[in-house]
Amino acid sequence: MFLFNTFTHVYCLAWGCLSVVTICGNLLVIMFVFYFQQLHTPTNYLIVSLAVADLLVGIIVFPLSMAFSLSSCLYHEGLFCKVRISFDITLSTASILNLCCISIDRYYAICQPLTYTTKISYRVIVIMILMSWGVSVVISVSIIIAGLNNETCEESCFIDVLIENTIGPILSFYLPVIIMLCIYLKIFLVAQRQARSIWNTTCQRATGGATVSKMERKATKTLATVLGVFLLCWTPFFLCVTFLPFINNSVSLPVMETLNWLTLSNSMLNPFIYAFFYSWFRSAFKMIISGKIFQGDFTDSKLS
């Protein structure tokens, strides 16, 4: 009993800290974008939409998941479990789709810079955000309904299993991942081509070669971080969900919960990858930490 109570306390403390970091990180991102005039750009509004989804994951999904992991709810699929699952699916899918929209925005910014302002306007950004959230709600409702229908069938209903384990994951994960992989590969190839162009312009001087090498390393590191962390957090869970019907749902509940926690941790990491990675966000963070932002109006400050 003592060991169980100790484990429970450690478990709650660990995931409570994770929830707090997720909430604080995403709150800072939202605050930075709305406070500093320089950050009022289409790209950053997409980052705000992503931060809102991840913030709600920290506020709603983390506490519910932690409570249900320590209760019998997981074994009886009650009403509150359905609420937890619906929030989980909606917010996680919204987070993924927002990441996909950010990759599309970066594609036009890097690969088609001359037409970027005309193709990625504020109206287009609003449409992308609304579609991300709308599709997330539709997918969540469809999967929940399919799960409820399954409970009324003597055997698993084929169409509901298809929605819950195939169509849902395809729309929520596999399709956005394929889109992001293709886009980031294109961005990487364009960045390499631009780097080689700079190298040729500098007549292959040593400094030019060093610049090219640095640019290529930076592009490689950025894309590897973005895609690597995302795939590391999400792939195991969706692979497990997809293949569950083929293994007679034999995956244990603790394994599924562990995989689910891994996906949720991506909401904590997103602010660091997609926001604090940029220098102007780091500058804004320093202004907050130093207290400078409370000493006057710095909304028009130029962030380096």
Per residue, what are the HEC states of 10-36?
A: HHHHHHHHHHHHHHHHHHHHHHHHHHC
The reported pLDDT for the residue numbered 190 is 81
Query: How far apart, in Å, do the first and last CA atoms of the chain sit?
Result: 55
To 10 degrees, what angle do helices 175-201 and 206-243 make? Answer: 170
Please give the pLDDT value at position 216. Answer: 54
> How does DSSP assign 237-293, residue by residue?
HHHHHHHGGGGTT-S-HHHHHHHHHHHHHHHHHHHHHHTTTSHHHHHHHHHHHHTGG
The model carries a pTM of 0.81
**Residue segments in the chain with a per-residue pLDDT below the cut of 50:** 2-4, 72-76, 154-156, 158, 160, 206-209, 211-212
CATH tag for 2-293 (out of 3.30.479.30, 1.20.1070.10, 1.10.10.10, 3.90.440.10): 1.20.1070.10
Count CB neighbours of 255 within 10 A: 11
185 neighbors 175 (Cβ within 8 angstroms): no
pLDDT given at position 22: 92
User: Which parts of 128-180 are beta strand (E)?
Assistant: none
Spans of all domains in the chain: 2-293
DSSP H or E run through 232: helix 206-243
What is the model's pLDDT at position 73? 47
- Residue 267 near residue 242, CB atoms below 8 Å: no
Rounded to whole angstroms, the Cα distance separating 58 from 4 reads: 25
Encoding tokens for residue 254?
């603790």
**Whole-angstrom Cα distance, residue 102 to residue 165?**
26
Q: Which of 212, 218, 231 is nearest to 279 (CA)?
A: 218
Q: What is the pLDDT of residue 27?
A: 92
Of the candidates 71, 53, 54, 50, the residue with the CA atom closest to the CA atom of residue 18? 54
Contact 157, 241 (CB under 8 A): no
Return d(Cα 57, Cα 123) in angstroms, integer: 27
Q: What is the distance between the alpha carbons of residues 185 and 149, in angstroms, rounded to a whole number?
A: 41
pLDDT score, position 247 = 64
User: CA-CA distance, 86 to 136, in Å (whole number)?
Assistant: 10
Q: What is the model's pLDDT at position 226?
A: 77
Query: Which residues 6+ apart lie within 8 Å of 241 measured at CB?
Result: 165, 169
Which pLDDT score is estimated for 45? Answer: 92
Distance CA 150, CA 148 (A): 5
